[in-house]
């Protein structure tokens, strides 16, 4: 719904006016708040990245509004806005690469100890019952359907 509103509906409503920018800003703030409130992704790092992207989009639209106001009165040096927008929109990429490196390092460190736990591991029932580490993770709570 957010993508539909930000790309479709806003193209029709008050084209090129400050009202269009304000509506886009409000939609982006609502989206960021909903992402923050409901945390729709499985991992917290994905939620953090999505919120960072939503905030960057909100701030970019706010920067566009400032540049629109800059046409009638000199509020901010356009060169500063250019550099600010570049730095602001690099932040999600940096967060993404930090998360990828962190996940890779956690996987390599865990593999070195021989303690890599995968949620998709397929083990025989006997192995599940005797492996204490699997019991510790609570994986024996899975209800198994036995065929007759």
Q: Is residue 16 part of a domain?
A: yes
Q: What is the pLDDT of residue 144?
A: 46
Please give the share of the chain, as a percent, with pLDDT higher than 70: 73
pTM: 0.68
Percent of the chain with pLDDT over 90: 39
- 10 in Cβ contact with 57 (< 8 Å): no
Q: What pLDDT was estimated at residue 11?
A: 87
Range of the domain at 108: 2-116
Domain assignment of residue 127, yes or no: no
Domain count, the chain: 1
Residue 141 lies in a domain: no
pLDDT digits (tens, 9 = 90+) for 17-34: 888 999 999 999 999 999
In-domain check, residue 134 = no
For the chain, the average pLDDT equals 80
In a domain, 148, yes or no: no
- For 39-46, the CB contacts below 8 A with 24+ separation are 45/99, 45/102, 45/103
136 domain residue, yes or no: no
Calpha distance 89→94 (Å, rounded):
9
Residue range 84-98: mean pLDDT, rounded: 94
pLDDT band at 51 (very low <50, low <70, confident <90, very high): very high
Question: What was the pLDDT predicted at 120?
Answer: 54
Q: What is the pLDDT of residues 112-137, one digit of tens each?
A: 555 555 455 566 666 656 655 555 55
pLDDT in tens, 133-146: 555 555 444 444 44
Is 145 contained in some domain? no
Is there a domain that residue 60 lies in?
Answer: yes
Of 33, 32, 50, which Cα lies nearest the Cα of 41?
50
């Amino acid at each position: 719904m957010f993508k539909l509103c930000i790309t479709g509906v806003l193209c029709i409503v008050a084209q090129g006016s400050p009202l269009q920018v304000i509506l886009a800003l409000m939609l982006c703030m609502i989206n960021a708040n909903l992402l923050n409130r409901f945390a729709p992704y499985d991992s917290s790092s994905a939620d953090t990245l999505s919120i960072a992207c939503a905030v960057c989009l909100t701030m970019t639209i706010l920067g566009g509004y400032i540049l629109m106001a800059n046409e009638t009165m000199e509020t901010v040096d356009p060169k500063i806005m250019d550099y600010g927008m570049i730095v602001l929109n690099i932040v999600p990429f940096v967060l993404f690469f930090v998360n990828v490196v962190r996940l890779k390092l956690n996987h390599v460190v865990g593999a070195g100890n021989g303690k890599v736990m995968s949620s998709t591991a397929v083990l025989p029932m006997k192995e599940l019952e005797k492996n204490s580490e699997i019991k510790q993770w609570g994986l024996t709570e899975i209800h198994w359907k036995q065929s007759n």
